[in-house]
């Protein structure tokens, strides 16, 4: 069996002064010039020492001004308090700050970051973070390696999903950092929307043709080119089939 790429934390350098600690939960620290922003703050408080050591060894003695949370689910905010306590960092997310629809810019002498609200799909407070100089996009949980980011698939949420993905794809990011698991590119965002449409079309047609849930689950195997997506064949594809089935059966 192939080893899970997120099982062991890995520090990836995406540019000068730009680091992502990739694991099941991802965190990034980025030098904008004379100061640093952090993106997302993990699930486990017990990682405090390890994370601060990693930051200090890669960006020694740089002040951390801001922690940007893509949203405030528990698995993105655990170290917020540690960043406040240790560095006096300001925590910025849509539950504690007002951010205009066109986004908020953080500008240093090396690079800029734009925090842009794309709400209403995963939660009502999701933001993506875009670093134009590096062409890196942080999606939070809007992209989940095959996971449908909304609890229920309805015509409204499907339309919302199309719109949200269009916005994310338009950045034409060279590197996409999801909230969880391996980093990827815009190609995966595009592929996933295609998959979502295909799944809805297939399930709808098969329900209309009178197939049972069991027949549909058996017929719809994970697409071959997505078989190695992170934890996709393991359970996410099945979860997506079930979500779409539930929504189609309800009408
Ligand atoms: Zn979430």
Write the pLDDT tens digit of every residue in 43-54.
999 999 999 999
Q: What is the pLDDT of residues 90-113, one digit of tens each?
A: 999 999 999 999 999 999 999 999
pLDDT at residue 22 is higher than 70: yes
| Listed residue (221, 169, 178) closest to 22, CA to CA | 178
The pLDDT value recorded for residue 2 is 59
Q: Which CATH architecture has domain 10-249?
A: 4-Layer Sandwich (3.60)
Gap from CA of 207 to ligand 1 centroid (Å): 31
Lookup: tokens for 7: 């099982």
Q: What is the pLDDT of residues 108-117, one digit of tens each?
A: 999 999 999 9
Q: What is the pTM of this model?
A: 0.96
pLDDT at residue 151 is higher than 90: no
Rounded-to-integer distance, Cα 58 and Cα 155, Å: 46
Radius of gyration in angstroms for the set of CA atoms belonging to the chain, rounded to a whole number = 19
DSSP string computed for 113-176: EEEEE--SSS-TT-EEEEETTTTEEEEETT-BTTB-SSSS--HHHHHHHHHHHHHHHHT--SEE
The pLDDT value recorded for residue 145 is 96
The pLDDT value recorded for residue 251 is 75
Gap from CA of 147 to ligand 1 centroid (Å): 11
pLDDT at residue 71 is higher than 90: yes
Cβ-contact 159, 166 below 8 angstroms? no
Gap from CA of 217 to ligand 1 centroid (Å): 26
Gap from CA of 206 to ligand 1 centroid (Å): 31
Gap from CA of 70 to ligand 1 centroid (Å): 9
Gap from CA of 31 to ligand 1 centroid (Å): 25
- Partnered with residue 90 across adjacent β-strands are 66
Cβ-contact 107, 99 below 8 angstroms? no
Gap from CA of 208 to ligand 1 centroid (Å): 33
Q: Rounded to the nearest 10 degrees, what angle do helices 186-208 and 155-170 cross at?
A: 160
Chain-wide mean pLDDT for the chain?
96
| Listed residue (77, 114, 86, 112) closest to 99, CA to CA | 114
The pLDDT value recorded for residue 4 is 84
Gap from CA of 155 to ligand 1 centroid (Å): 21
Gap from CA of 122 to ligand 1 centroid (Å): 7
Of all residues in the chain, the percent with pLDDT exceeding 90 is: 95
Gap from CA of 242 to ligand 1 centroid (Å): 20
Cβ-contact 91, 84 below 8 angstroms? yes
Gap from CA of 211 to ligand 1 centroid (Å): 33
């Amino acid at each position: 069996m192939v080893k899970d790429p997120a099982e062991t934390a890995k520090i990836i350098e995406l540019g000068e002064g730009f680091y992502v600690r990739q694991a099941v939960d991802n965190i990034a620290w980025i030098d904008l010039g004379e100061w640093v922003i952090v993106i997302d703050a993990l699930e486990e408080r017990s990682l405090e020492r390890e994370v601060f050591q990693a930051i200090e060894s890669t960006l020694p003695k740089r002040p951390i001004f801001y922690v940007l949370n893509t949203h405030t689910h528990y698995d993105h905010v655990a170290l917020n308090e540690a960043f406040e306590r240790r560095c006096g960092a300001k925590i910025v997310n849509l539950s504690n700050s007002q951010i205009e629809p066109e986004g908020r810019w953080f500008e240093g002498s090396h690079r800029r970051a734009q925090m842009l609200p794309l709400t209403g799909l995963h939660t009502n407070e999701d933001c993506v973070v875009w670093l134009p100089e590096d062409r890196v996009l942080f999606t939070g949980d809007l992209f989940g390696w095959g996971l449908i980011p909304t609890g229920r698939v309805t015509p409204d949420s499907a339309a919302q999903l199309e719109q949200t993905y269009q916005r994310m794809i338009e950045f034409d990011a060279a590197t996409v950092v999801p909230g969880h698991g391996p980093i990827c590119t815009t190609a995966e965002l595009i592929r996933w929307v295609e998959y979502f449409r295909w799944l809805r079309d297939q399930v709808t047609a098969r329900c209309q043709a009178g197939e049972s849930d069991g027949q549909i689950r058996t017929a719809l195997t994970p697409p071959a080119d997505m078989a190695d997506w992170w934890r996709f064949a393991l359970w996410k594809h099945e979860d997506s089939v079930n979500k779409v089935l539930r929504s189609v059966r309800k009408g």
